[in-house]
Amino acid sequence: MWRWLLVAVATVTTVAENSTDSMAKATSRFHPYYWPHAGQTCYFRCRDAGFCCGGSASSNQMISCAQACVMRARGTPENDLTSEKGLCQRNSASGCSVTVNEMSYDLCSTCHDLTSNCPHGVESSAACNYGARTWTEYLIAGQEIVNAQGCDCAWIPHDNCESKDFCALACRKANPWGTCAP
């Protein structure tokens, strides 16, 4: 944990010395909910749900449950993954890697945790969709919903990222743990 914190502080300090624009780009990489234990949390939540490929690589050119969960932890909105044209909607001809938030993911490896539930690794977008949602569920557990500027924000845990009105933007800003954080 301390090593991650030191790297983040060192990066921000170095960038701050260079320019304000660079600072904005660098700090955007450090989503407030990307804790050092995100990989472990994602691995165990996905494994317990019966999904394979819990390491850093996936198979069959598909995004694994654990990879999608980590993408969410690094700040990718759930809807960017799970929507009709989201990143999870891949097939066996989609390519062997994908880069999301400046991090590359290997999608053509052999998974080392195959089971009878997934004898060939990741076989459909169901694993990715579950991974994206499991991080949201992890964040929501124990979160207090904050109402913002006269807006009722009770819908935030189920935000589909489509509304762009005043209350939607205010509620997302007041509840950065939601599925569509700014």
**pLDDT tens over the chain, length 182 residues:** 333 322 222 222 223 333 333 222 322 333 444 445 678 888 989 999 999 998 888 999 999 999 999 999 888 989 999 999 999 999 888 999 999 988 899 999 999 999 888 899 999 999 999 999 988 788 777 788 899 999 998 888 878 888 899 999 999 999 887 777 66
The answer to whether 62 touches 146, Cβ cutoff 8 Å, is no
Same domain for 131 and 146, yes or no, is no
Residues 100 and 119 in one domain: yes
Given a contact cutoff of 8 angstroms between Cβ atoms, the answer to whether 142 and 158 are in contact is no
What tokens were used for 76? 């990718």
Distance CA 58, CA 66 (A): 9
C-alpha closest to that of 69 among 102, 96, 105? 105
Q: Are residues 125 and 160 in the same domain?
A: no
- Give pLDDT, residue 22: 29
Domain check: are 100 and 17 in the same one?
Answer: no
Same domain, 147 and 126: no
- Would you call 128 exposed, middle or buried from its count of C-beta atoms within 10 A (0-12, 13-18, 19+)? buried
Decide if 45 contacts 138 (C-beta within 8 A). yes
Cα 141 from Cα 124, distance rounded (Å): 27
Q: Which two tokens stand for residue 153?
A: 């924000």
Other residues' Cβ atoms within 10 Å of the Cβ of residue 80:
20
> Is the whole model's pTM more than 0.75, yes or no?
no
Q: What does the pLDDT read at residue 36?
A: 55
User: Could you tell me if 57 and 134 lie in one domain?
Assistant: yes
Domain co-membership, 25 together with 48: no
DSSP-derived secondary structure for 84-140: TTSTT---TTS-SEEEETTEEEE-SS--S--BTTBTTS--STHHHHHHHHHHHHHHH
- Are residue 112 and residue 162 in the same domain, yes or no? no
Q: Please count the other Cβ atoms lying within 10 Å of the Cβ belonging to residue 102.
A: 9
Question: Is the domain of 9 the same as that of 41?
Answer: no
Query: Rounded CA gap, 151 and 115, in Å?
Result: 47
What is the pLDDT at residue 130? 95
- 132 plus 43 within the same structural domain: yes
Residue span of the structural domain in which 163 resides: 142-182
In a shared domain, residues 59 and 87:
yes
Q: Can you tell me whether residue 170 is helix, strand or coil?
A: helix
Q: Total domain count for the chain? A: 3
Other beta carbons within 10 Å of 84: 5
Residues 99 and 154 in one domain: no
